[in-house]
Structure 1
Amino acid sequence: MRDNNGKVREDADTDGVVYYKGPLVVLVDRFSASASEIFAAAMQDYGRALIVGEPTFGKGTVQQYRSLNRIYDQMLRPEWPALGSVQYTIQKFYRVNGGSTQRKGVTPDILMPTGTEETETGEKFEDNALPWDSINAATFVKSGDMTQFGPALLKDHQERIAKDPEFQYIMKDIARFNALKEKRNIVSLNYAQREKENNEDDATRLARVNDRFKREGKPLLKKLDDLPKDYQEPDPYLDETVHIALDLANLEKGKPALQPTPAK
């Protein structure tokens, strides 16, 4: 970390103990910020883990709270209401390679398709966001090398999601979003048009639920109201991360990556 006076403080692991030595995959998205992306960056720089998902938020700063009550010595004025606190930035975080996570965030080793646009989320789009910069790299020893597995993992990932029904839904949603993004801030005030759009959305969701139930051998639904209250839709990103972790575990053991299970 570096403060506003340019003083750099380096934190280090001093106990010398590795608590987990197995394969590690970290899933991130554009809302992964601050400590989450600092952790992801450290795992990536040390070659300890494979990072998957989408580029992170890009918040590489440290804040501190200071109570306004102390400034105005409210103890002398107990009848005053609480004055609140001020939050201000005091430091910036840096990766061991010297680069900051500020604005740029962390770029995953394997990118997953999402419908989130880069222009929608990120520290760099905030007013007065501090710039990206760098300091001298720290002296460190990498604990692994994920780049040797990258091509094989990426190939299997792409083949798997091309056949995965859930990712096919995602790609359709992304295409629909891109086709309508110019009109996404426009809402029709025509009741019949709104009702038509809602019915189309419900029909799409019902069709997808029934597709899942059919693959699982469950009875199909006639309407969404019949959906069990405890029903949870699959998380394709989390499920795919598990597949990538299994592939990584096999590659680290010298075995070939698992072949994708054909969709039913």
Structure 2
Amino acid sequence: MPHNAHIPLIKQLDVIAFDADDTLWRNESLFWDFKDAIKAILAKHIDVESEKAVEYLDEMEINNIGFYGYGLKSYTLSMIEATINLTDGIVDTDDIKAVLALLKEKLNAATEVFIGVEETLMQLSGKIDMMLITKGDAHEQHLKINASGLSHYFRWIEVVPRKDEKIYEELLHKYIIKPERFMMIGNSLRSDVLPVCKLGGMGVHIANDTQWAYENQFPEEWKSLPYEKLDSFLDLIPFLY
């Protein structure tokens, strides 16, 4: 999306949309902590660090996205299924209970909002319509949204099963938004930035220290798409004005 350098960028937009996990609040690093805790339980039954197990666990997680979607519940089901398969069904039910108890604990955990996020949303509030677009299990995502205390800043909140061109196209049509007047901000090039650029909108990438390898896989032709890059959320206001 080309823009006029003589006019503040915010004046050239109708809607700014934000990703949630690892853009507004911490998620992936907590997810890795959760993975490590689950692996510690499963290590009684399989060598979780062996090349075969690592490959199988990763493959199971990705293959099950189509069935379970994204999130902690999806990952937990995949790990239980993988362990049952790798051990030929010899798994202690107490360990399965421990995994499920850990899942419940994590689902009820506090949401850690990144520094500068609320202050930035507060400055933008009332000046432009904002949308939250997050993918994953609807119940799981709404728990985090409610715990964040940020929901009142957004005119619209959308929890979608995935993020791709089709989903963004449907959302733009639903809310009658012109692609060239739409900005999407997120930490994933695959899910947040490049699909929007492909449609003619503006994608803004704010990288995060932890990134799921799955999010770094996208079509070769997308690599030439232009997008904006910010070092941190605190850079957003100067960028827009």
Task: Say yes or no: TM over 0.5.
Answer: no
Radius of gyration: which is bigger? Answer: 1
- With structure 2 as the length reference, what TM-score do the two structures score? 0.28
* Larger relative helix fraction: 2
TM-score computed with the length of structure 1 as normaliser: 0.26
Q: Which has the higher contact order (CA 8 A, sep 6+)?
A: 2
